[in-house]
Structure 1
Amino acid sequence: MRPTFRQLEYIVAVADTARFGMAAEKLGISQPSLSSQIVEAETDLGVRIFNRGRHGAVMTQQGAEIVRRARRILHEMEDLRACVTGDGIFDGRLRLGVLPSIGPYLLPGVVRRLHVDHPNFRLVVREESTADLELGLRSGRFDMILSTPEDHPGTLQIPLFRETLWAAIPKDDPLAGDTGPLPLASLAGRNLLALGSRHRLSGMVSEIAALANARVPDEYEGTSLAAILLMAAAGAGIAILPRLYAATDARRRDDIVLRRLDTPKAERAISLIQPAAFEARLGSDILASALSEEALQLMAPI
């Protein structure tokens, strides 16, 4: 059968590294051997998969589709092996894409717990924006993602938890005099700080700003929750944060006050999401349960 399973692995390795040399090193073979196998696969398929140049290997339009399908075939083979061993996603590597507003706070405890019962479990995590998580799931870069379910239609989703949004207010601000729920009317005319536009959280903050007659300044888009929290502490505005982050890192600061936004619009759902299939991958329920339990523990009363 052409291309061979091994050639598919080579194709994906080149796509992941964008360099023949790096892909060969990753695979533990010589670059000439890798190149000859890619050329052979291209000949059998009758298309060019990569354009070679000084800037590395760039996928052609047809090559991108071949890579996407190659990833799917390799994933199916991994599932076949997992089905035989009975340990599902925990027998080998799971590539998980996560929102940067969730991953660093939720995953460490979950991974420690799962490794006790599944020592072979290898979790490869990448933090990306909502839009990039969607692209990564569709292209096969990710096996699963942790994200907001409404942004990934046509996928298999396991609900995990819901979290409210909180306002981080400088301590010298009049709104910091109270710790109760914050009415939207109190935000009128204020600057609300949020992540960049490729993040779902940015759209939520914009919607809240419109309801409160507040504004999201164009001159600043946060690259991380820590960055917008620092800006808020410096008096640049009020940072809007998801509860998981507010209940962990943000609550440790002594220069801001946290208040829950008092509106149904200030809430988001988080799900474990994988490509649509006949059924969830074996072990998905165990991972989802661990994620849900950890989130509930972390989101203790602020």
Structure 2
Amino acid sequence: MRPTLRQMQYLVAIAETGKFGDAAKRANVSQPSLSAQIADMETQLGTILVERGRHGAFLTPLGEEAVKRARRVLRDVEDMKAFLQSGGASLAGRVRLGVLPTVGPYLLPAVTRQLHVEYPDLRLSVREERTIDLEAHLHDGQLDTVISSVEDHSDADHMPLFEESLWICAAPDDPLAQSAGDVRLTDLSGRALLTLGYGHRLNLTIQSIAEASGAHVSAEYEGTSLDAIRQMAEMGAGVAVFPSLYAMTEARRDPDLVVRRIDDPLARREISLIWRHTSPLADRLPRLAEEFKTAASTILLGRIN
């Protein structure tokens, strides 16, 4: 006998949760049933894959290798299912989209409505994740395609969607908020820049800006969202740095918000739709990219009042 797809799913769930109970909840199965399936898998393979302990479940070295291979198998099965459900032609069926949290909330609302009109049989399943998690989940098959910065994704095809500038926001009584026009790097010298935590490409970009300008990334605060960074900046904790989609969307929503564009090549980033070379959706995803590209253009070409 060979390990079943269900057993492989259970093993991956244990690897990702570290506990049999949590893995069972994720797989929507009872813990005794999951434990029995893993034990049966180990018997078939003649080796221990999971070390059981009072503090959780730990993969053995062979277990880690089994998880890597199981993820590839499960990814290929999902690819096959996506291809067959789509009929092999148009944008239809379920497409699992991963997106940066600095992009998703500001780009997707408008484009998803349009997609529903043009492709009524398409079911877009969206998950916001950090850059490093998008890369991992694209290649293990949990995601079909991602909206991200292309330099962070290896062995993948892509289609550029848009390029955006970075903007700053400071407290109302800060000189940076009381001036108009673009900001030069020299204007940021000596300032504390606020950014997101580890795993976000935006963090690395802001670090490069800090090094070039004589500023520094704040060691006292790492935001979990752009809204959180904005709030800290407005309270005087530092200078927030935002991408254009966020800056323009929020400035239109809140006329009292003062944002200024950073005028420097370092303060730009390119966002693309990215998918695996082997994806069965590869011939259809460019159509999806065109929809995202049009929506982004509408936002970025608008003016801030």
Q: Deviations over 1:176-233 (max 9, x none)?
A: 3443222222222222222224322122112222222222232222222111111211
How many Å separate the matches in 1 of 2:303 and 2:248?
8
How many Å separate the matches in 1 of 2:57 and 2:92?
32
Q: Does 1:7 align with 2:7?
A: yes
Please tell me whether the aligned partners of residues 138 and 275 of structure 1 are also in contact (alpha carbons under 8 angstroms).
yes
3-state SS, counterpart of residue 237 of structure 2: coil
Equivalent residue runs for 1:25-104 within 5 Å: 25=25, 27=27, 29-87=29-87, 90-92=92-94, 94=96, 96-104=97-105
Q: Does 1:285 align with 2:286?
A: yes
Q: Does 1:201 align with 2:196?
A: no
Residue of structure 1 in register with 2:229 after alignment: 228
Please tell me whether the aligned partners of residues 191 and 238 of structure 1 are also in contact (alpha carbons under 8 angstroms).
yes
How many Å separate the matches in 2 of 1:189 and 1:30?
56
How many Å separate the matches in 1 of 2:45 and 2:283?
33
Residue of structure 1 in register with 2:220 after alignment: 219
Please tell me whether the aligned partners of residues 85 and 92 of structure 2 are also in contact (alpha carbons under 8 angstroms).
no
Please tell me whether the aligned partners of residues 103 and 127 of structure 1 are also in contact (alpha carbons under 8 angstroms).
no
Q: Which moved more, 1:285-294 or 1:8-17?
A: 8-17
Q: Which moved more, 1:259-268 or 1:209-218?
A: 209-218
Decide whether aligned partners of structure 1 residues 272 and 66 sit closer, same or farther in structure 2, where only a CA change above 3 A counts.
farther
Letter aligned with residue 278 of structure 2: A
Decide whether aligned partners of structure 1 residues 16 and 233 sit closer, same or farther in structure 2, where only a CA change above 3 A counts.
same
Letter aligned with residue 12 of structure 1: V
**Shift in Å at residue 29 of structure 1?**
4.5
Letter aligned with residue 12 of structure 2: V
Equivalent residue runs for 1:131-146 within 5 Å: 131-146=132-147
Q: Structure 1 length normalisation: TM-score?
A: 0.85
3-state SS, counterpart of residue 206 of structure 1: helix
Residue of structure 1 in register with 2:260 after alignment: 259
3-state SS, counterpart of residue 203 of structure 1: helix
Q: What is the number of equivalent residue pairs in this alignment?
A: 300
3-state SS, counterpart of residue 264 of structure 2: coil
Q: Which moved more, 1:85-94 or 1:32-41?
A: 85-94
Residue of structure 1 in register with 2:123 after alignment: 121
Please tell me whether the aligned partners of residues 192 and 216 of structure 2 are also in contact (alpha carbons under 8 angstroms).
yes
3-state SS, counterpart of residue 12 of structure 2: helix
Please tell me whether the aligned partners of residues 233 and 256 of structure 1 are also in contact (alpha carbons under 8 angstroms).
no
Letter aligned with residue 273 of structure 1: I
Structure 1 residue runs of 5 or longer lacking an equivalent are none
How many Å separate the matches in 2 of 1:87 and 1:199?
36
Please tell me whether the aligned partners of residues 192 and 214 of structure 1 are also in contact (alpha carbons under 8 angstroms).
yes
How many Å separate the matches in 2 of 1:49 and 1:6?
15
Please tell me whether the aligned partners of residues 51 and 57 of structure 1 are also in contact (alpha carbons under 8 angstroms).
yes
How many Å separate the matches in 2 of 1:206 and 1:30?
46
Please tell me whether the aligned partners of residues 146 and 272 of structure 1 are also in contact (alpha carbons under 8 angstroms).
yes
Decide whether aligned partners of structure 1 residues 41 and 245 sit closer, same or farther in structure 2, where only a CA change above 3 A counts.
same
Please tell me whether the aligned partners of residues 171 and 255 of structure 1 are also in contact (alpha carbons under 8 angstroms).
no
**Shift in Å at residue 11 of structure 1?**
2.8
Please tell me whether the aligned partners of residues 144 and 279 of structure 2 are also in contact (alpha carbons under 8 angstroms).
no
Q: Structure 2 length normalisation: TM-score?
A: 0.84
Residue of structure 2 in register with 1:239 after alignment: 240
**Shift in Å at residue 242 of structure 1?**
0.4
How many Å separate the matches in 1 of 2:292 and 2:68?
28
Instruction: State which of 276, 296, 303 in structure 2 corresponds to 1:301.
Output: 303
**Shift in Å at residue 278 of structure 1?**
7.2
Q: Which moved more, 1:81-90 or 1:283-292?
A: 81-90
Q: Deviations over 1:2-29 (max 9, x none)?
A: 1223332333344455443454455554
Q: Which moved more, 1:196-205 or 1:11-20?
A: 11-20
Root-mean-square deviation (Å): 2.8
3-state SS, counterpart of residue 11 of structure 1: helix
3-state SS, counterpart of residue 79 of structure 2: helix
Decide whether aligned partners of structure 1 residues 37 and 282 sit closer, same or farther in structure 2, where only a CA change above 3 A counts.
farther
Decide whether aligned partners of structure 1 residues 260 and 133 sit closer, same or farther in structure 2, where only a CA change above 3 A counts.
same
**Shift in Å at residue 165 of structure 1?**
0.4
Letter aligned with residue 123 of structure 1: S
**Shift in Å at residue 119 of structure 1?**
4.1
Please tell me whether the aligned partners of residues 229 and 250 of structure 1 are also in contact (alpha carbons under 8 angstroms).
no
